[in-house]
Amino acid sequence: MQHQDNRFSAVPAGSIAAVVTVLEMRERPAPRPQRADGGWRVEPVETPSLAFYLDLYRRVGAPHLWYSRLVMPQAELAAILADPDVSLHALFLDGRAEGILELDFRQKGACEIVYFGVTPRLVGSGAARVLMNRALELAFPRGVERVWLHTNTLDHPRALDFYLRSGFRPVERRIETAPDPRLSGLLPMDCAPQVPIL
């Protein structure tokens, strides 16, 4: 008789699975030192077009299998982006958006960093630190008591450490499974090669 190990759960074929860590910050820390010579700038994107938003979302998120905004009805996404309590900023380099920062203030007293990241071109350059300093600079003056986000094991291997060094602390852990967005054609089959397709 085969022994069943309750520590493991099978992931259905055609799905991806990740450990999600929820992190929060209750007080704004001192800004972390950042490069001043990177040539980038962080700017608000007022009423972004869906084409602009989804292009940036894909370029930042495809290596980590971000997909939720790709399956959201476009009218619903447009309504979120048009909400005055949702703030979109982009990090630009050489005139092109290379980083995304989406802040959601719709929950009273809180700010969720819904999407945060830079394109593979800028990973390791110091641009993410600039973007995070800007995120906290924008969030706390709005009178929030909590800034929070989540990351998962499909994100960049140093993402969790980056958030910890930025001053966030972990408060919850979850397991997430979802259909593999590569198999449905939402993302190219060759993206995120570190995550096997089963």
The rounded distance, in Å, linking the Cα atoms of 122 and 81 is: 25
pLDDT for 142 equals 84
Query: How is residue 69 written in tokens?
Result: 């905004």
The rounded distance, in Å, linking the Cα atoms of 168 and 27 is: 9
pLDDT for 3 equals 60
C-alpha 158: how far from its chain's center? Answer: 13
Sheet arrangement for strand 86-93:
40-44, 86-93, 96-104, 110-118, 146-152, 15-25, 169-179
The rounded distance, in Å, linking the Cα atoms of 129 and 136 is: 11
Candidates 34, 45, 5; CA nearest to 162 is: 34
Q: Where are the alpha helices (DSSP H) in 27-154?
A: 50-61, 68-71, 74-82, 127-139
Cβ contact 179:34 at 8 Å: no
- Provide the residue ranges of all domains of the chain, joining segments of one domain with +: 16-28+41-179
CATH topology for 16-28+41-179?
A: Aminopeptidase (3.40.630)
| Identity of the residue numbered 132 | M
Candidates 141, 73, 69; CA nearest to 100 is: 69
C-alpha 61: how far from its chain's center? Answer: 7
Cβ contact 93:40 at 8 Å: yes
What are the residue ranges in the chain where pLDDT is below 70? 1-4
pLDDT for 51 equals 96
- Collapse the DSSP code of 17 into the 3-class scheme (helix H, G, I; strand E, B; otherwise coil) and give the result: strand
